[in-house]
Amino acid sequence: MIIVTGANGNLGSAVVEELLKRVPGEQIGVSVRDVDKAQELEKRSVRVRHGDFDHEESLLHAFEGASQVLLVSSGVLGEAGVRQHMAAINAAKKAGAERILYTSHMASSSTSLFPPMLNHARTEELLKESGMPFTSLRNGFYASSLVWLLGGALQSGELILPEDGPVAWTTHSDLAEATATILTQRRWDGLSPNLTASEAFDMEEIAAMASDITGRPIRRMVVSDEEHRKHLIARGFPRSPS
């Protein structure tokens, strides 16, 4: 049985949909914090069980009978997030799973200045230390992040961000298809190739695209990091702890 964690989320739910195109529902299980939100999957013969990264015992029950476990990375940063991943790896091993797949990132690095990459790098180390066969899916930056980065630009006509570089934005649907393929065909051991789009765009180009789509001019404005912080606070974002 293939177990998918986080199946109520954007990526996890998309992976389950792709798996259902490839294998019978009876061969799929999901581990979710809120089972009520996954009842539609149960109607399609998918096994739905409660699983909480903060409670390894619940994961052990959710992973029962697993041949493979897809560990969709936690949204919790720092040591707390790493502990959650460790609990899931331990539970998968105790449940007798033959392989773990983990949704990592193409920029995973223990020296990154971007906090999520530290979690991914440490989790990859835990997977190696576990002694279990694993695949670390080196996903690209989610295209859905652009909605957040665009902020109020569609209304104000100004895309205000610090200096940037080109990014190959990647959709959940493309990543879900790749993940389901790897889960059902088992083609990769260890780190996967970078799973990302074929073209990269900077924010100047994104602003031009948004202008074309909306029919309204959107001007790209480059500001300092400090100016950007002030802009975010003005939009209602909390100040970072001092």
Q: pLDDT band at 240, cuts 50/70/90?
A: low
pLDDT digits (tens, 9 = 90+) for 58-82: 999 999 999 999 999 998 999 999 9
All residues at 6 or more sequence positions from 152 whose CB lies less than 8 Å from its CB, including other chains: 235
SS3 string, the chain, reads CEEEECCCCHHHHHHHHHHHCCCCHHHEEEEECCHHHHHHHHHCCCEEEECECCEHHHHHHHCCCCCEEEECCCCCCHHHHHHHHHHHHHHHHHCCCCEEEEEEECCCCCCCCCHHHHHHHHHHHHHHHHCCCEEEEEECCECCHHHHHHCCHHHHCEEEECCCCCECCECHHHHHHHHHHHHHHCCCCEECCCECCCCCECHHHHHHHHHHHHCCCCEEEECCHHHHHHHHHHCCCCCCCC
Choose between 150 and 102: higher pLDDT. 102
* pLDDT at site 61: 97
Residue 209 has pLDDT above 80, yes or no: yes
CA distance 3 to 28: 6
Residue 242 has pLDDT above 70, yes or no: no
Q: Is the dihedral of CA 122, 148, 166, 192 positive or negative?
A: positive
* pLDDT at site 154: 87
Average pLDDT, the chain: 94
* pLDDT at site 92: 98
Structure tokens at 3: 């177990």
Q: pLDDT band at 149, cuts 50/70/90?
A: confident
* pLDDT at site 94: 97
Tell me how far the alpha carbon of residue 223 is from its chain's centroid.
Answer: 28
Residue 241 has pLDDT above 60, yes or no: no
pLDDT digits (tens, 9 = 90+) for 174-188: 999 999 999 999 778
Backbone φ and ψ for 9, nearest 5 degrees, come out as -90, 175
The single residue listed with the structure tokens 């009842």 is: 39
Closest CA relative to residue 137, chosen from 12, 228, 7, 225: 12
For the domain covering 2-140+171-197, report its CATH number.
3.40.50.720
* pLDDT at site 234: 81
**Residue 102 bridge partners (DSSP):** 71, 136
CA distance 25 to 225: 48
Structure tokens at 195: 């799973």
Residue 161 has pLDDT above 80, yes or no: yes
